Amino acid sequence: MNGEPLVIVGDCMLDVDVEGTATRLSPEAPVPVVDAQRVWHRPGGAGLAAVLAARGESDVVLVTALADDEDGRRLAELLDRAGVRVEPLAMSGSTVCKTRIRAVGQSMLRLDHGDGTASDDALPASVVRILRQARAVCVADYGRGVAAHAGIREVLSAIAQRIPIVWDPHPRGAPPVPGCQLVTPNEAEAQGHSAEMMRRRWQARAVCVTLGSRGAMVATGADGTVQVAVPGAAMAGSGRTDTCGAGDRFAVAATLALAQGHSVVPAVTAAVEAASRFVAAGGAVGVSSPAESGGYRGAASEATAIIGDLIEVRDRLRSRGGRLVATGGCFDLLHTGHVRLLHQARQLGDALVVLVNSDSSVRALKGPDRPVMADVDRARVLAALACVDAVVIFDETSPEDQLERLRPDVWVKGGDYTEADLPEAAVVRRHGGEVVLLPTVAGYSSSNLIAAMRS
């Protein structure tokens, strides 16, 4: 850890998506019957904000209240898998769980249960220390007590003048502490008040009212009020309009930009684009994990993936519908870092294709003594992973030609790359896809493992 984490503060919940089809009405009442096919779990609220932050940051800490019940333990497991470090507060009541029943990507019904709120116990010393070490803080308030905790508010007030604090408010939540660099209510939460009026009321350095597809209106003390529009290219994608999680994506993107030293208006501009792309790519559903229980069986639970040519894989997976994710590499000796990247990549959509360099391709990239495992064997090992839906072996040193035909919604690589290192990124973006760089697991390298064995 670098000692300066990105910290998310707020209320966490468990979100569940039941996916299926609806082709008939119930004989008991004029309501659709949803034939459930898959169940997906994901962290919601501040948990979603933390997972989104962990896509590009190696040290993300979530300060939240967790209950010691089945849903709470599941939530903690999902956060850990996503690379989020949790600093827990005590919770009174049970974990809040929100279940959406969906058919062909359309929400049909939402069921909520759980009454958990953060208790008002003394703030743990570890939480105080983490907040004081933070290089930036994003507060995702969902009105369940974390942002209203007196100890949290005292520490945030003390650090607001030296680090960026972005506060995403809630109508039932606590007001932002004075001195926040940016407060981000949406249009409904603004209740007709101007951004400048709210900036003065909350004593914030800037307030941004998010306007959905119309961008955002941001007021700062220095620049006055500025309209930030959605870039046209940011709306390219699958065409879906599920906005669930867009506010969290916006707040996290703004926090990261401010932490990198950008001023408010450029940070808001980056956040508008990030949130728009997030919505165009399917919203929070792309951050879900397949349920390990519940009796539903879908593509993610099959024991063996498709191993075939690109056109066969593309057509079979596209016929299932949903969001297509792809990643690629040599995978010459599969290790923990690979498995974690593949698992996180699968959480970004509904199917994961792994493009594997052939033996001749690996030799061209790594030298004449590689690979140590033949391409067919590497493909079989990958296909046995539950998170992998298909494997394609290709001969080129770059996957650009494969991606030109596959056209995934998301292309994933490890965080040891930058977009400048990835010529294929332009291909993915040209077809409306998103490029996601996931943090790598330190200490794992196929080349180092192979060198150690040979020595």
248 is a catalytic site residue? yes
| Amino acid type, 153 | R
Angle at 247 between CA 245 and CA 251, to 5 degrees: 120
Q: CA 361 → CA 71, 321, 394, distances in Å?
A: 45, 31, 8
Q: Is the peptide bond before 368 cis (omega within 30 degrees of 0)?
A: no
Q: CA 419 → CA 51, 374, 391, 449, distances in Å?
A: 21, 29, 23, 26
Could you give the 3-state DSSP secondary structure of residue 131? helix
Query: Which of 210, 228, 221, 215 minimizes the C-alpha distance to 265?
Result: 228
**CA dist., res. 5 & res. 130, Å (int):** 8
Assigned token pair, 318: 């596209």
Assigned token pair, 315: 């057509």
**CA dist., res. 125 & res. 155, Å (int):** 11
Catalytic-role residue among 17, 242, 248, 409: 248
The arrangement of strands across the sheet holding 351-357 comes to: 306-307, 390-394, 351-357, 324-329, 410-414, 434-438
Query: Which of 80, 160, 166, 155 minimizes the C-alpha distance to 124?
Result: 155
The catalytic residue positions are: 248
